[in-house]
Structure 1
Amino acid sequence: MFIHLGGDTVIRSKDVVAILDQDTHDSSSITRQFLSSQENSDVVEISKELTKSVVVTIDRVYLSPISSLTLRRRAQVVSEFEDFSEEVGENAET
Structure 2
Amino acid sequence: MYLHIGQNEIIPDKRIIGIFDLDKCSYEKRTRDYLAAAEQEGVVLDVSGALPKSFVVCDHPYHRQIVYLSQLNSVTLKNRAESKKPEF
Separation (CA, whole Å) in 2 of partners of 1:14 and 1:23: 25
- Corresponding residue for residue 21 of structure 1: 21
Distance 2:16 2:47 in 1: 16
Give the drift of 1:40. 5.0
Give the TM-score, by structure 2 length: 0.84
- Extract structure 1 runs of 4+ deviating beyond 3 A: none
Q: Which residue type is aligned with residue 17 of structure 1? A: I
Match in the other structure for 2:68: 62
RMSD of aligned Cα (Å): 1.4
Q: How many residues align?
A: 82
The match for 1:5 is 5
Structure 1 position 77, deviation (Å): 1.2
Residues 15-73 of structure 1, C-alpha deviation per residue, up to 9 Å, x if partnerless?
11010001123211111111111135310000331101010001310000000000000
Would you tell me which structure has more helix in proportion to its own residues? 1
Indicate the structure (1 or 2) with the bigger Cα radius of gyration. 1
